[in-house]
Amino acid sequence: MDMMKAQILGKVSELEFAKKCLDKGHVVSVPINDHGGYDFIVENGFYIKRVQVRASESPRFDNNQKCGRYKVNCKSTKGFDFLAFYMRDIDVWYIIPKHVITSSTIMITPNKLNKKKSKYDHYRENWDILFT
């Protein structure tokens, strides 16, 4: 994917994330600069969470896999509380707490054809985890 297309995908995904949060009744704020390590501050009246948004349009297939894996570059987990990862081609979100991210790159395999359960399955479309 070229740089311009990746930037557009990133911005569109950020807007999709903000819309989802607003639809759920949360307050969404955007930092003035992008040096904090997060894209949004989301609050529900009691708690404030910092969220980094990442996205992909298509999975990677390796060694004749029946289901694709999505590669997510996390860079650093220092600035955010949650990673929101959007799989645009299948319209699925993963809301992952930073404490379960153990490396700068994670692989997520959402397809149910995968016999091995992913450690991230619990976070698929789990929007409530932001404030529990």
| Helical (H) or strand (E) element with 11 | helix 3-23
Residue 66: the pLDDT is 47
Contacts of 34 (CB under 8 A, 6+ apart): none
CB-based contact 8:2 (threshold 8 Å): no
Residue 112: the pLDDT is 57
φ/ψ of residue 73, rounded to 5 = -90, 120
DSSP type of residue 2: -
Per-residue pLDDT of the chain (132 residues; tens, 9 = 90+): 677 788 888 899 999 999 999 999 999 999 998 788 899 999 998 999 999 999 887 665 555 554 556 777 776 667 899 999 998 888 999 999 999 888 888 888 776 555 667 788 899 999 999 987
Whole-prediction pTM: 0.85
Show me where the domains of the chain are located: 3-131
E strands, the chain, in order: 27-29, 40-43, 48-56, 70-73, 82-87, 92-97, 105-108
Q: Which CATH code for domain 3-131?
A: 3.40.1350.10
Dihedral, CA atoms, 19, 31, 89, 8, nearest 10 degrees?
Answer: 110
Token pair of 86, please? 């959007």
